[in-house]
């Protein structure tokens, strides 16, 4: 089992490396050990806890096949489908990780695609995940950078994102949600975005308690703050891109699971069903590599 740690944090991964089991953080003022994530629970469905990769699409895809490069890949009998029968959260969420490099504060995984994808374009894209933990001033900072290298002899297009669940304790004082995100993207009842994509102004981040959400938002450099007054800490989820070889994670899906006392804040490079519409996709030329990055920052209130 792999783990990384700092003076105040310890993050543990599953044996396969495809989920985060726990992130315990010692509050610098109270000395209390707190779980930041709602860590992966093997007794629940895979998508209900922890933090996992969504790739080569995010959230839902409305087709029974998918075209990523020059070939069309059938999805019949593959992946996981939602209650409406739509393939959900991509194909790589449970792929095994191979440990490439490791220190106390960082590790580098390489994804090992399932055998069913051998000899397909999906198999010939190398994906690596670099996790690092550090303390900057009074903030504990987890950085996750994901690299995509196209080894196909033709261009390859995709989108990706992550689906971390955060714990939110609320028995005495309500957690709060704040953000610089001003535009909400309308969704159908099936949670498929309305195309053509458009945004409308939202007040979801100005309320005195977190409302029920399974909602999609957009912002060029999104920042979401989860405040837990009961335990006197906050979590910031932020992403940005500074160069042409960096993939912007400008879309954020937020889902509240009040029964499980957790909230998912999902940074993504595109909205759901983006491949069907050719919208906001990352295009990799042969032998080209691009990466995307987001951070989770924890600090006392």
Q: What is the pLDDT of residue 156?
A: 97
Q: What is the pLDDT of residue 180?
A: 97
Q: How far is CA 160 from the centre of its chain?
A: 8
Q: What is the pLDDT of residue 243?
A: 82
115 HSE (CA, 13 A, CB side)? 0
pLDDT at 170 over 90: no
Q: What is the pLDDT of residue 162?
A: 98
240, 242, 210: which is closest to 225 by C-alpha?
Answer: 210
* Dihedral Cα 146, 224, 133, 114, nearest 10 deg: -30
Instruction: For residue range 101-149, list pLDDT tens digits in order.
Output: 999 999 999 999 999 999 999 999 999 999 999 999 889 999 999 999 9
* Domain range for 11: 2-300
Measured over the CA atoms of residue 108, residue 284, residue 241 and residue 274, the dihedral's sign is: negative
What share of the chain has pLDDT > 90, as a percent? 92
Q: What is the pLDDT of residue 4?
A: 98
C-alpha span between 198 and 184 (Å, rounded): 8
Q: What is the pLDDT of residue 241?
A: 85
Q: What is the pLDDT of residue 245?
A: 85
Average pLDDT over residues 266-289: 98
Give the residue carrying structure tokens 């290298």.
Answer: 149
Q: How many domains does the chain contain in total? A: 1
Under DSSP, the state recorded for 277 is: H
Instruction: For residue range 229-263, list pLDDT tens digits in order.
Output: 999 999 999 998 878 889 999 999 999 999 999 99
CATH of the domain at 96: 2.70.98.10
What share of the chain has pLDDT > 70, as a percent? 100
């Amino acid at each position: 089992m792999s783990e990384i740690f700092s003076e105040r944090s310890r993050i543990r991964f599953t044996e396969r490396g495809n989920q985060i089991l726990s992130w315990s953080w010692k509050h610098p003022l109270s000395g209390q050990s707190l779980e930041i994530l709602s860590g992966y629970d093997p007794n629940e469905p895979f998508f209900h806890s922890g933090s996992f990769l969504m790739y080569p699409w995010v959230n839902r895809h409305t087709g029974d096949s998918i075209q990523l490069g020059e070939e069309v890949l059938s999805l019949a009998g593959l992946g996981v489908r939602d209650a409406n029968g739509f393939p959900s959260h991509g194909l790589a969420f449970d792929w095994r990780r191979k440990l490439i490099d490791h220190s106390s504060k960082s590790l580098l995984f390489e994804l090992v695609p399932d055998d069913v994808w051998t000899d397909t374009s999906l198999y010939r894209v190398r994906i690596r995940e670099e996790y690092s933990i550090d303390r900057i001033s009074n903030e504990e900072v987890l950085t996750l950078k994901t690299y995509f290298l196209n080894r196909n002899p033709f261009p390859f297009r995709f989108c990706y994102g992550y689906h971390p669940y955060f714990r939110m304790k609320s028995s005495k004082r309500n957690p709060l949600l704040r953000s610089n995100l001003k535009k909400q993207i309308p969704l159908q009842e099936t949670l498929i975005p309305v195309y053509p994509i458009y945004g409308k102004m939202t007040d979801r981040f100005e309320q005195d308690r977190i409302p029920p959400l399974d909602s999609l938002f957009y912002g060029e450099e999104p920042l979401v703050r989860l405040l837990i007054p009961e335990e006197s800490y906050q979590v910031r989820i932020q992403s940005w891109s500074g160069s042409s070889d960096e993939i912007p994670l400008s879309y954020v899906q937020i889902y509240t699971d009040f029964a499980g006392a957790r909230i998912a804040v999902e940074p993504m490079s595109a909205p759901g069903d983006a491949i069907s519409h050719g919208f906001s996709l990352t295009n990799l030329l042969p032998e080209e590599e691009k990466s995307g990055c987001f951070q989770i920052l924890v600090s006392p209130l």
